Structure 1
Amino acid sequence: EKRAEKLGARENELEKMVAEERHRLEQLAGLSAQDAKNELIHRLEEEAHADAANKLREIRETAKRSADREAKKIISLAIQRIAAEQTAETTVAAVALPNDEMKGRIIGREGRNIRAFELATGVDVIIDDTPDTVVVSCFEPVRREVARLALEKLVADGRIHPGRIEEVVNKSKQEVDVAIVETGERAAYESGVHGLHQELIRLIGRMRWRTSYGQNILNHSKECAWLAGIMAAELGLDVAMARRGALLHDIGKVLTHEHEGTHVQLGVEMATKYGEHPLVINCIAAHHDDVPHESEISVLVQAADAISGSRPGARREAFETYVKRLEGLEKIASSYRGVEKVFAIQAGREVRVIVTPDEVDDARMTSLSEEIARRVETELQYPGQIKIVLIRETRAVDFAR
């Protein structure tokens, strides 16, 4: 008991000493124990917030660095897996003849056969000095294909007269109609797109005989579908929807000869009419930035379209159109005050504008490049994109004599 009393007294003495020390510390620090505790918590919170902010900044910087790298990797992978050849088609089709005597039979007495053929098909038949060849010319590719088939049949048969011409042309039209449906179904199957309306399949089939800047639209649309599908798979998005939107994005181009409006407007009308998903309709409407993008898929379709259309060799232009575009680029850039010289380089993909340093300062440079770019967008038509580069140079020259 005495030992327990001693221990109790010792414990009380220790508690008293601790209380005295705490009181002395509080007097020296000018803070109570609770205040000191709160101050410590506050400092720890501030340190934690600072650490979190630094960590967040590091994560953002890492994300920015890796996002560009990942995007390039996805696009490169998609391009690497798609190695499709593009065939540039023209507005003429050549038909081989067994001999030059057949030219006279095609023309007929006083030209009646050739007139009947041109009237039935809506094409121009060009017969010149080219040996054993007749050229069929027409801007409308389906009519040109009908005429080519009909003329080949007539030449093979040998019986060429107005009555026979009409019969063969009608038969060729039916064959081309069947080929259009088969081509559309095959393209949809190859692209992995199912459940399309029959009229949309017909429009896809007609793409086979349509070109844009020399690039076959059917091959372009199929390539876009494959590219968009690969990129969607890499990003974990809806692959089927991406392929569908990409395959149909240029569907309006087969109607521009027959209806008023841009190919985007006509494509949106057709997709809406035949019950396509709103995301697919937005892919068509937004692939030239006419309306805002409503999903990641429409952005992928636009990217696939740019990759397929802008890569070297995909498209070609008539020489006159090419020269006219270069002249237009230089004329637009030269129209601004302070512009000294303009050079269109890299086949019109880049415009270098040299400005007078006294009239154009550094602040004006940025706004001037943007103004030129916007005018080029609104006034010129071109595939891909055009880079506008402004150069401002100040030189001081003297001579040592």
Structure 2
Amino acid sequence: MEQIIWIPLAVIGLIGGGALGWFLGKQQVRGQLRKEIEVAQQEAQRLVEEAKQQAAQLLLQAKDESLRLREATEAELRKWRADLRKEEERLRHRREELDRRAERLEKQERRLNERQAELERQAAQLQAAVARLEEERRAALEQVAGMTAEQARQVLLEMIEKEAREDMARLYRQIEAEARLQAEERAREIIATAIQRIASEQVAELTVSVVPLPNDEMKGRIIGRNGRNIRALEKITGVEIIVDDTPEAITLSSHDPVRREVARIALTRLIQDGRIHPARIEKVVAEAREEVERIIWEEGQQAAAAAGVTGLHPELIRLLGRLKFRTSYGQNQLHHAVEVAWLAGMIAAELGADVRIARMGGLLHDIGKAVDHQVEGTHALIGAELARRYGVPPKVVNCIASHHHEVPQECIEAVIVEAADAISGARPGARRETLEMYLKRIQELENLARSYPGVAECYAIQAGREIRIIVKPEEVDDLAIIRMSREIARKIEETMQYPGQIKVTVIRETRAVEIAR
């Protein structure tokens, strides 16, 4: 029992001692904290005092700066006001000076108006006096000259008109000569550059083909029994076969060069094979036609490649290849087309024009000749329609249609193609013509020149490449001969077909003859 009582008393003692220690510790901490708070409050009070002192100093500095700026501003304003007063004073003096000047000008204007009125009165009096004198002079001149003033004016006008026409003709010839000299120099340079860069083979073909035979006995085999073989050949090929006395040769004649070539190839193969009868003829002609079509396609492609023209429709390439079998004055048309394309491209490059358009126009300018025997119209218009149908650019179509001036030329490339065509056709050895055609052209040229009024004589010289016209001087003056030369040249271009170019020279000669006795 004693032990039980002793244990709780011990526990109570321990608890009581711990609580007392905790209480005492807490009081010590509180005292320490109170001291720290007081120190912090003192520090805060010190900082506040320092801040107040700094604020007061800054306020004083701000007041001093504000006062300084205010004084500076007031000084500047005083200076500006002084300047303004000076400017106002100057302007006032200026305004007074202007007012005095305006007053003086008004006085001068009144004096000038009065003087002008006086001068006008004097001028009116002088004009009246001059009119009276002019009337008296005119009456005196009419009395002396024996003609009226209107008649004298007409004579004077005629004299002035004649002098003006002579001066105009002289000036016109001078300007034309200068322009022609400059144009010829530039043209010679361009054309020489183009021609020096091109060379093409010379060929001469006719509208007939000659097929050699191994012997004259072959003529009978070609004709066949009762002429059945030659009739079959002519019917299938559409070509006239001429068997005459020419030894060891027969002639094929047709205006269609492709048909003539088909017949030539077929007949050559039949002669080599020796088997000649209608069935064999039909087969060989079909093979020859296929071969010619292949040749046409290849030649068209080679021509386009040689001319540097791409993107053409296949039908245009085929028509281009047909020109291989077409000639004009002995000049092969396919070679001519390629040559014109080269020349046109070179000239376009020299002039800064579109080289692609010029080349394509030059290559296709005679494409209508491939079908002109099948379609109505001129080869230029036929070719233009074909080109338009197969998607050729409009400028190229105009080059084709206008290279013989059947339609107006709308671009510089059209002029270049025309020039290149003339160069290719007119160069030495390019073309040839028969004596009959030459004499006919000479006669047409002279008749055309004689159809103009005032022509006394005309002569075609230099193989028809120049026409010289002598006019009557009393009927045609200097200005009229210039106009006549242009009209005759234009008429020749519109009505005649000729290779190259024709020079028109009109001559007017006035002779004064007097005999001394």
Query: What's the TM-score once normalised by structure 2's chain length?
Result: 0.62
Could you tell which deviates more after superposition, 267-276 or 351-360? 351-360
Among candidates 311, 331, 343, match of residue 215 of structure 1:
331
Displacement, 1:349?
1.1
Q: How does 1:316-355 map to 2 (within 5 A)?
A: 316-355=432-471
1:166 and 2:282 are equivalent in the alignment: yes
| Percent identity (aligned) | 60
User: Counterpart of 1:24?
Assistant: none
Give the aligned residue type for 1:247.
L
Equivalent pairs counted in the alignment come to 340
User: Counterpart of 2:3?
Assistant: none
Instruction: Spell out, residue by residue over 1:157-197, the C-alpha distance to the aligned partner (whole angstroms, 9 max, x if none).
Output: 10111121111111111111111101101111111111111
- Provide closer, same or farther for how the CA distance between residues 235 and 373 of structure 1 changes in structure 2, counting only shifts above 3 A: closer
Among candidates 130, 137, 141, match of residue 257 of structure 2:
141
Among candidates 417, 420, 433, match of residue 301 of structure 1:
417
Task: Please list every run of 5 or more consecutive structure 1 residues that lacks an aligned counterpart in the other structure.
Answer: 1-61
Per the alignment, in what secondary structure is the counterpart of residue 232 of structure 1? helix
Instruction: Spell out, residue by residue over 1:346-382, the C-alpha distance to the aligned partner (whole angstroms, 9 max, x if none).
Output: 1111111122233333333223333333332333222
In 2: Cα distance, 1:368 partner to 1:227 partner? 32
Give the aligned residue type for 1:304.
A
User: Counterpart of 1:205?
Assistant: 321
- Provide closer, same or farther for how the CA distance between residues 237 and 341 of structure 1 changes in structure 2, counting only shifts above 3 A: closer
User: Counterpart of 1:244?
Assistant: 360
Instruction: Spell out, residue by residue over 1:188-241, the C-alpha distance to the aligned partner (whole angstroms, 9 max, x if none).
Output: 111111111110000110010111222111001100111112222333433233
Give the aligned residue type for 2:371.
L
Displacement, 1:71?
3.7
Per the alignment, in what secondary structure is the counterpart of residue 115 of structure 1? helix
- Provide closer, same or farther for how the CA distance between residues 185 and 294 of structure 1 changes in structure 2, counting only shifts above 3 A: same
1:129 and 2:245 are equivalent in the alignment: yes
Give the aligned residue type for 2:453.
R
1:356 and 2:472 are equivalent in the alignment: yes
User: Counterpart of 1:181?
Assistant: 297
Instruction: Spell out, residue by residue over 1:272-329, the C-alpha distance to the aligned partner (whole angstroms, 9 max, x if none).
Output: 1111112211211222223333333222222211111122221122222221111111
In 2: Cα distance, 1:290 partner to 1:375 partner? 13
Instruction: Spell out, residue by residue over 1:225-263, the C-alpha distance to the aligned partner (whole angstroms, 9 max, x if none).
Output: 111122223334332332112111111111110001111
* Contact preservation (8 Å) 1:253, 1:263: yes
Could you tell which deviates more after superposition, 377-386 or 338-347? 377-386
- Provide closer, same or farther for how the CA distance between residues 196 and 119 of structure 1 changes in structure 2, counting only shifts above 3 A: same
Displacement, 1:64?
9.7
In 1: Cα distance, 2:282 partner to 2:201 partner? 37
User: Counterpart of 1:384?
Assistant: 500
In 1: Cα distance, 2:442 partner to 2:200 partner? 29
Task: Please list every run of 5 or more consecutive structure 2 residues that lacks an aligned counterpart in the other structure.
Answer: 1-177
Could you tell which deviates more after superposition, 194-203 or 315-324? 315-324
Q: How does 1:57-206 map to 2 (within 5 A)?
A: 69-206=185-322
- Provide closer, same or farther for how the CA distance between residues 72 and 161 of structure 1 changes in structure 2, counting only shifts above 3 A: same
In 1: Cα distance, 2:460 partner to 2:187 partner? 30
In 1: Cα distance, 2:179 partner to 2:513 partner? 48
- Provide closer, same or farther for how the CA distance between residues 392 and 68 of structure 1 changes in structure 2, counting only shifts above 3 A: closer
* Contact preservation (8 Å) 1:224, 1:304: yes
Could you tell which deviates more after superposition, 333-342 or 306-315? 333-342
Q: Return the structure number with greater helix share.
A: 2
Could you tell which deviates more after superposition, 221-230 or 373-382? 373-382
* Contact preservation (8 Å) 1:181, 1:205: yes
In 2: Cα distance, 1:364 partner to 1:296 partner? 30
Give the aligned residue type for 1:167.
K
Instruction: Spell out, residue by residue over 1:83-138, the C-alpha distance to the aligned partner (whole angstroms, 9 max, x if none).
Output: 21231210111111111110111111222211111111111111222221111111
In 2: Cα distance, 1:363 partner to 1:191 partner? 45
Give the aligned residue type for 2:275.
R
User: Counterpart of 1:20?
Assistant: none
Per the alignment, in what secondary structure is the counterpart of residue 480 of structure 2? helix
Could you tell which deviates more after superposition, 199-208 or 364-373? 364-373
* Contact preservation (8 Å) 1:97, 1:133: yes
In 1: Cα distance, 2:507 partner to 2:184 partner? 27
In 2: Cα distance, 1:345 partner to 1:366 partner? 20
Measured on the aligned residues, the alpha-carbon RMSD in Å equals 2.2
Which structure's relative contact order is higher, taking Cα pairs within 8 Å and 6+ residues apart? 1
* Contact preservation (8 Å) 1:86, 1:219: no
Give the aligned residue type for 2:462.
Q
- Provide closer, same or farther for how the CA distance between residues 240 and 102 of structure 1 changes in structure 2, counting only shifts above 3 A: same
User: Counterpart of 1:281?
Assistant: 397
Give the aligned residue type for 1:216.
N
User: Counterpart of 2:486?
Assistant: 370
Larger Rg: 2
* Contact preservation (8 Å) 1:116, 1:165: yes
